Amino acid sequence: MLVDVSNLSLGYEKQTVIHDISFQVEENDFIIVLGSNGVGKSTLIKGMLGLIKPLGGSIQYNTEKIGYMPQETRVDPNFPASVMEVILSGFVNKMGLRPFHNKKDKEKAYEIMEILKITHLKKKCFSELSGGQRQKVLLARSLCATDKLLILDEPSNNLDQKSKSEFYTILKHLNEGHHISIIMITHDIDNDSLIGNKVLALRTDGYYFGKTDDYMEADLWY
């Protein structure tokens, strides 16, 4: 087990947003987090990243290797950074006092670019990329932090259907081919978005956590 969430409640200034939920993230899991606006999807992610403290319950981790891809990029699209520079920025938390990236960092970055098939973009300016290409680069950056667990906050936002389909295919490959567990928030409530093996569906009066097939068969669309 990578993550054990037990009786977790989260909120702000004593206003509870997430009420007493429990679920586990196992190795090779791909969990899709669903729910309408305001039910606490982003609050849950903040709690799992340690950005806010639980009001109750606990989150236990069996890995420190967590990659995070936020909903809004922290890379200024107008800043003249190359794709390689953006990807290497994912190693910042691992560098310690090192002022420069070492050979191991660069080799890992190339390995990730090859997996995502974006090596040909390495010298391009980030601001020149299409929306789909930018998302692949930002995914590569988050992978520099982990080979165990990825947390993605609505990564398909603002992508057209073709780019979204390509991005989901990449995520499936990372999960099934490279055994990276994934937690993905999505606002898309359709069959195309339910690419994981499990669903965590949040609502104001409760939640569902279980297998995707069971969720769909029970017609529990939120």
Cα(167)–Cα(159) distance, integer angstroms: 9
Cα(34)–Cα(13) distance, integer angstroms: 24
The token pair that represents 52 in the structure block: 């806010």
Domains of the chain with bracketed CATH: 26-53+147-222 (3.40.50.300), 73-145 (no CATH)
Residues in CB range of 186: below 8 A, 6 or more apart: 32, 33, 34, 154, 156, 193
Which amino acid, one-letter code, is at 115?
I
What's the pLDDT score for residue 190?
A: 66
The token pair that represents 12 in the structure block: 């702000």
Residues in CB range of 205: below 8 A, 6 or more apart: none
8 Å CB contact between 151 and 25: no
The token pair that represents 172 in the structure block: 């499936």
What's the pLDDT score for residue 71?
A: 81
Which amino acid, one-letter code, is at 14?
K
The residue whose two tokens read 């891809």 is 69
pLDDT in tens, 165-175: 999 999 999 99
Rg for the chain, CA atoms, rounded? 18
What's the pLDDT score for residue 95?
A: 46
Q: Mean pLDDT, 10 residues at a time, over the chain (222 residues)? A: 96 90 97 91 94 95 90 68 91 58 87 95 92 93 93 89 91 96 86 86 91 83 54
Residues in CB range of 25: below 8 A, 6 or more apart: 1, 2, 3, 4, 5, 31, 149, 181, 183
Catalogue the E-assigned strands of the chain: 3-12, 15-25, 30-34, 56-61, 66-69, 149-153, 181-185, 198-203, 206-211
